[in-house]
Structure 1
């Protein structure tokens, strides 16, 4: 869920549900839990929500608690999609 929100912070719950294969109701519950736990904030923009992930929030399981969620997201999400990847060979 965090990866999808990081990729598409303006996505609707319906979009997120379709992308990860769960129901909109499940997405709503997970987003509420993530918001309450401090992993993301939401801002109303017109008729939609814009989500912002808190990259400094640490993972909650004891074995991963030393790592902020931002480091995990950086591994999986390419934030700079504007520049094409070129082969330098």
Structure 2
């Protein structure tokens, strides 16, 4: 997949759940295979993360042919007490802004 960085060892700032949610926000009909490639995860890990997000109401899906269309609840509050009051929408806004800035830098060079 073009523009996807190589695998990274060590700790990171974002959880895999946040990465998967951001990937879905970017493409609501993305295939699990594509989400896994973008997030550098296995397809099985992405399936588990999607199940977690659906179980807690952050995400839902509608079957469309052989694929899914995902819906994110932007009003859901983030789970950790340190982020009390922050919504999924606020997280995705930060991630989307960052992604847009990275894409602009790629196109400028």
Q: 1:66 — aligned with what? A: 85
* 1:33 has 2:52 as partner: yes
- Bigger share in helix: 2
C-alpha separation in 2, matches of 1:76 and 1:18: 18
Report the Cα distance in structure 1 between the residues aligned to 2:80 and 2:39, rounded to whole angstroms. 23
The 5 Å alignment of 1:1-16 reads 1-16=20-35
Residue aligned with 1:77, SS? helix
Bigger RCO of structures 1 and 2 (CA < 8 A, at least 6 apart): 1
Q: Is there any run of 5+ residues in structure 1 with no aligned partner, and where?
A: none
- Which residue pairs with 2:15 in the alignment? none
* Structure 2 SS opposite 1:26: helix
Alignment partners' CA distance in 2, 1:70 and 1:46: 28
Secondary structure (helix, strand or coil) at the match of 2:33 reads helix
Structure 2 gaps of 5+ residues are 1-19, 105-109
Query: Using the alignment, how far apart are the partners of 1:65 and 1:40 within structure 2?
Result: 19
1:63 shift after superposition: 0.9
Give the TM-score normalised by the residue count of structure 2.
Answer: 0.69
